[in-house]
């Protein structure tokens, strides 16, 4: 095989891997461009996807004109400033959604180079097609990311109670997003233009907590040289968020009760004052237990618990893990000016882990991975050992449970297979090796793509539409690749 051809083949393999990794499509496309430039030796590669948030193209007037001229694009190569301009369409379901272009330094470019670019374009189109289908709706409500039904209910309830002044008690393990939810409620309430004042009852030393909360009068104690407003008074007209309410000392519990009942506070050494605040509290402790032990006032418990909202732990809503990973990768890519994505293998590990520290633990891990990753893709090797060990222990524990609780191995395997993207299956089935030419590899991939689309199509016209080619073109390919199309049990063969 020729050197250039071998090189293009390896580049193609790398791009295929990138496209089947998980991450925001935007950052994956940027990586693809980088690979085209550094490994296939094409200059200024550009991907333009209509209606896409970012434009991944260099600024060049003459080239822009060329791209316009070829829109809707045809696959072509044309002379350009002494080199060659290459362009090829990106299609989904027969619609042109954009194009890929690049500059080759030579005047006479080999046909393989254009085929290579055109093939990358097809792969991108196909990835888009698969992605669009796979994505069930991920929601972002006030920066709370979720896809699970449980969280959907939590958010609906929160938005509903936000409208009123009702006292809310948010429960849930550490790191599930209690504070974030309190912010959501405040920001969607009629009080949103006033302050949300957060007080962590566990973080402030007991002897300072009272003056922090209620303020003091000048001369109330040594050192009180001026009047000081308490945090609750600062929130007048707004919301007070009492975090870790289970740690509130008993004497202060009485004062909070008075605030709720009489809408009144008493600064240390001063007169009682009226304040208008809404109270949202949160805890990860078992308040009922604390009441029983006499560490938490029962009357206060009932006053706070008017509307309880429980946020389930992440391990009980595993569908949220992937969107959260994507969200945090994007967040830290921006923060650290990086362009990292994550492989499906690494994701599978993250999905299996129990996340006892919930979203906070996940967020911290992703930040570390993005910051320390030397490669563009986070792979299973990058995931810390303690996570893999915990998963291993968990699996061992499950195996020791009674047999009937476990789904059979085959069922499990079928379940796992279902989770793979169509694209991954295609790439896994392919044995990319140096011994074959680029065109034969492209034919193989084309065949697999056709088979995949056929499996999900009602009839040949439907499949042709999805593939963006005519029915006649598809029939020709079915004959070429000896593919049979099975339609409702009726066999129509295209074999000669």
User: Which residues in this chain contact Mg ion in the complex, by CB under 5 A?
Assistant: 179
Choose the binding region for ligand ATP from 27-35, 169-177, 211-219, 285-293 (rule: CB under 6 A). Answer: 169-177
175: partner contacted, choices ligand ATP, Mg ion, none (Cβ within 5-8 A by kind): ligand ATP
Go through the chain and tell me how many residues it has.
496
Q: Give which of Mg ion, ligand ATP, none residue 174 binds (C-beta under 5 to 8 Å, depending on kind).
A: ligand ATP
The smaller minimum CB distance to Mg ion, of residues 64 and 179, is found at 179
Question: Of 75, 73, 15, which is closest to residue 39 (Cα–Cα)?
Answer: 15
Site for ligand ATP in 260-289 (CB under 6 A): 284
Q: How far is CA 98 from CA 49, 70, 72, 353, in A?
A: 4, 11, 8, 39
DSSP 434: T
* Residue 478 CB contacts under 8 Å (≥ 6 apart), including other chains: 450, 460, 484, 485, 494
Say which entry of Mg ion, ligand ATP, none residue 284 contacts (CB below 5 to 8 A, set by partner kind).
ligand ATP
Residues numbered 299-328 forming contacts with ligand ATP, rule: CB under 6 A: 324, 327
- Residue 468 touching ligand ATP (CB under 6 A): no
Which two tokens mark 114? 């254009």
For residue 243, the minimal CB distance to Mg ion (Å) is 5
What residue has token string 């509903």? 160
Cα–Cα distance for residue pair 283/75, rounded to 1 Å: 61
Of 359, 366, 370, 383, the residue at the interface with ligand ATP (CB under 6 A) is 359
Q: Is the peptide bond before 72 cis (omega within 30 degrees of 0)?
A: yes
The entry of Mg ion, ligand ATP, none near residue 449 (CB within 5 to 8 angstroms by kind) is: none
Contact call for residue 146 and ligand ATP (CB under 6 A) = yes
Quick check: 378 and 325 in contact, CB under 8 A?
no
CA dihedral over 120, 121, 122, 125, signed as positive or negative: positive
- In the complex, least distance from residue 285 CB atom to Mg ion, rounded to whole angstroms: 12
Q: 267: alpha, beta or left, given left = phi > 0 and alpha = psi -120 to 50?
A: beta
The nearest distance, CB 244 to Mg ion, in angstroms, is 7
Q: Is 462 in the site for ligand ATP (CB under 6 A)?
A: no
Q: Stretches 176-184, 248-256, 273-281, 398-406: which one binds ligand ATP (CB under 6 A)?
A: 176-184
Residue nearest to ligand ATP (CB): 177
Q: Which CB sits closer to ligand ATP, 221 or 310?
A: 310
Structure tokens at 229: 């407003």
Q: Could you say whether residue 188 binds ligand ATP (CB under 6 A)?
A: no
Please tell me whether residue 174 binds ligand ATP under the rule CB under 6 A.
Answer: yes
* Cα 255 from Cα 214, distance rounded (Å): 9
Give least dist CB 382 to ligand ATP, A: 21
Q: How far is the CB of 296 from ligand ATP (least distance, A)?
A: 17
Task: Give the distance, in angstroms, between the CA of residue 125 and the centroid of all CA atoms in the same chain.
Answer: 21
What count of other Cβ atoms lies within 10 Å of the Cβ of residue 111? 9
Distance CA 280, CA 303 (A): 11
Helix (H, G, I), strand (E, B) or coil at 52: coil
- The minimum distance between CB 181 and ligand ATP, in angstroms, equals 7
Query: Which residue lies nearer to ligand ATP by CB, 125 or 172?
Result: 172
Residue 370 is a binding residue for ligand ATP (CB under 6 A): no
Q: Could you say which of 180, 204, 257, 387 contacts ligand ATP (CB under 6 A)? A: 180
In order, the DSSP letters of 309-333 are EEPPPGGG-GGGHHHHHHHHHHHHH
CA distance 323 to 329: 10
Q: Considering the complex, what minimum distance in angstroms separates the CB of residue 137 from ligand ATP?
A: 15
Asked, as a colleague might, if the bond just before 8 is cis with ω within 30 of 0, I would say no
144 contact choice in Mg ion, ligand ATP, none (CB below 5 to 8 Å, kind-dependent): ligand ATP
The Cα 365–Cα 101 span in angstroms is: 37
- Residue nearer to Mg ion on the CB measure, 181 or 370: 181
Nearer to Mg ion, 275 or 314 (CB): 314
**Matching residue, tokens 């996570």:** 387
Q: How far apart are alpha carbons 125 and 127 in whole angstroms?
A: 5
Q: Minimum Å distance from CB 289 to ligand ATP?
A: 17
Q: How many residues bind ligand ATP (CB under 6 A)?
A: 18
Q: By C-beta, is 201 or 445 nearer to Mg ion? A: 201
Of the candidates 193, 158, 191, 163, the residue with the CA atom closest to the CA atom of residue 177: 158
Strand pairing class (196-200; 307-310): unpaired
Q: What values do phi and psi take at 319, rounded to 5?
A: -60, -20
Residue from 12, 144, 154, 350 in contact with ligand ATP (CB under 6 A): 144
Beta strands in 111-260 (DSSP E): 139-141, 144-146, 168-171, 196-200, 215-216, 228-229, 239-243
Among 77, 178, 278, 465, binds ligand ATP (CB under 6 A): 178
- CB-nearer residue toward ligand ATP: 55 or 143: 143
Give me the least distance between CB of 311 and Mg ion, in Å please. 11
Could you tell which of ligand ATP, Mg ion, none binds residue 363, using a CB distance below 5 to 8 A set by kind?
A: ligand ATP
241 touches ligand ATP by CB under 6 A: no
Using CB under 6 A, pick the residue from 28, 145, 277, 304 that binds ligand ATP: 145
> For binding to ligand ATP (CB under 6 A), which residues are involved?
143-146, 172, 174-180, 284, 324, 327, 359-360, 363
């Amino acid at each position: 095989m020729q050197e250039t051809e071998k090189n293009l083949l390896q580049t193609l393999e790398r791009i295929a891997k990138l496209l089947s990794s998980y991450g925001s499509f935007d950052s994956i496309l940027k990586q693809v461009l980088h690979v085209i430039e550094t490994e296939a030796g094409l200059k200024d590669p550009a991907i333009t996807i209509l209606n896409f948030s970012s434009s991944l193209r260099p600024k060049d007037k003459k080239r822009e004109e060329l791209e316009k001229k070829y829109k809707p694009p045809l696959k072509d190569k044309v002379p350009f400033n002494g080199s060659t301009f290459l362009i090829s369409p990106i299609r989904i379901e027969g619609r042109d959604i954009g194009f890929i272009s690049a500059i080759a330094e030579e005047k006479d470019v080999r046909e393989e180079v254009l085929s290579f670019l055109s093939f990358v374009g097809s792969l991108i189109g196909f990835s888009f097609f698969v992605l669009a289908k796979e994505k069930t709706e991920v929601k972002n409500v006030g920066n709370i990311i979720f896809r699970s039904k449980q969280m959907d209910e939590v958010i609906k309830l929160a938005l509903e109670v936000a409208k009123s002044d009702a006292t809310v008690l948010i429960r849930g393990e550490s790191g599930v997003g209690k504070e974030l939810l309190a912010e959501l409620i405040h920001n969607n309430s009629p009080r949103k233009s006033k302050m949300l004042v957060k007080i962590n009852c566990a973080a402030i030393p007991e002897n300072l907590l009272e003056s922090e909360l209620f303020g003091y009068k000048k001369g109330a104690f040594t050192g009180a040289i001026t009047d000081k407003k308490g945090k609750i008074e600062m929130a007048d007209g707004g919301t007070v968020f009492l975090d870790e309410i289970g740690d509130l000392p008993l004497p202060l519990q009485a004062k909070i009760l008075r605030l709720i009942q009489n809408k009144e506070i008493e600064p240390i050494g001063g007169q009682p004052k009226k304040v208008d605040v809404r109270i949202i509290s949160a805890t990860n402790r078992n308040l009922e237990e604390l009441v029983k032990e006499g560490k938490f006032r029962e009357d206060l418990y009932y006053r706070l618990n008017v509307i309880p909202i429980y946020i389930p732990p992440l391990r009980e809503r595993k569908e949220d893990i992937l969107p959260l990973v994507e969200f945090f990768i994007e967040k830290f890519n921006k923060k650290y000016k990086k362009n990292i994505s994550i492989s499906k293998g690494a994701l599978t590990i993250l999905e299996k882990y129990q996340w006892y520290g919930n979203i906070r633990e996940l967020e911290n891990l992703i930040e570390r991975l993005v910051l320390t990753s030397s490669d563009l893709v986070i792979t299973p090797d990058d995931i810390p050992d303690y996570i893999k060990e915990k998963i291993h222990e968990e699996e061992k524990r499950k195996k020791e449970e009674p047999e009937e609780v476990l789904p059979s191995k085959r069922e499990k395997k079928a379940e796992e297979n279902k989770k793979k993207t169509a694209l991954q299956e295609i790439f896994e089935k392919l044995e990319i090796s140096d011994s074959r030419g680029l065109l034969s590899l492209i034919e193989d991939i084309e065949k697999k793509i056709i088979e995949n689309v056929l499996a999900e199509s009602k009839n040949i016209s439907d499949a042709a539409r999805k593939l963006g080619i005519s029915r006649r073109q598809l029939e020709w390919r079915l004959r070429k690749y000896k593919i049979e199309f099975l339609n409702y049990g009726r066999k129509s063969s295209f074999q000669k």
